[in-house]
Structure 1
């Protein structure tokens, strides 16, 4: 696995226990943090958490004092969810409850696919498999996502990569 940047480590060690304790439905990390956790050499500016809508509401109540009420997500015409951004030590956390994607054919639920567990500081972190992360990035279609899919493909074909 590639080195976990200190800011990501700090944020995850505070975030993960709350997710394990308070989420009633399955959840996972997606985006650049998930790619980094499986070993891809990508930069991480925030942590994206995919949860059920009810769990998004519960987390918003739990983390009321952390809420960044001024943040407006980009690409709101492409994505919709029960969205909120929270300030955590290290980096922001973005929670997406019931994330849906519109690629021009109407709103479709985003499915993370097959989840794998990555160990971090004694905690299990659910993330999509490398193949499913590539699929997600490609479906999102933004330039930064296409680049991340390319980096994950290179990582997946590396002879030094561990199995997922």
Structure 2
């Protein structure tokens, strides 16, 4: 697995901070691609998807507050915040939805694979589900990440 020390430390910190979550949670985006063993030029942030109650509790636990503001035209979360203490910022997306041609769709992941990083467990969707999710996001960078997973 190609992983920088900063990403490994960040993921271990996420695992520890999310250990009290009542519902399943996942790492998605570029960090998930790396956790599936692919190489990415740079992981600029770690995307953590969790339930809204768990997201609120997570942010409180790490000393951050949910951010207020309007969702963008592609993504929205019931609870959103950024944890800035880890080496790589962690974006908490709780109650996460994505805009599709048919309207807003809740991101409801059904697969959950465990990966151990620095002795801590983190969770990612299966490769197939992550590919579908990235393609749903529709951005060029997400399509590129999905292509990496298909190789």
TM-score between the two structures when normalised by the length of structure 1:
0.83
5+ unaligned residues in a row in structure 1: which ranges? 155-164
Aligned partner of 1:117 in structure 2 is 114
* 1:139/1:79 CA distance change after superposition, 3 Å: same
C-alpha separation in 2, matches of 1:52 and 1:31: 17
Pairing of 1:39-118 with structure 2 (within 5 A): 39-42=37-40, 43-64=42-63, 66=64, 76-81=72-77, 82-118=79-115
TM-score between the two structures when normalised by the length of structure 2:
0.90
1:77-109 C-alpha deviation (Å, 9 max, x unpaired):
111101111102311000000111111322111
Aligned partner of 1:32 in structure 2 is 30
Contact 1:13 1:121 in 2 (8 A): yes
C-alpha separation in 2, matches of 1:142 and 1:52: 24
C-alpha separation in 2, matches of 1:90 and 1:68: 20
1:45-79 C-alpha deviation (Å, 9 max, x unpaired):
11100000011111222223x55969x89x71111
C-alpha separation in 1, matches of 2:59 and 2:73: 22
Q: What is the alpha-carbon root mean square deviation over aligned residues?
A: 2.0
Number of paired residues? 149
1:103-149 C-alpha deviation (Å, 9 max, x unpaired):
13221111223111111122221100111111110000001101100
C-alpha separation in 1, matches of 2:67 and 2:75: 18
Larger Rg: 1
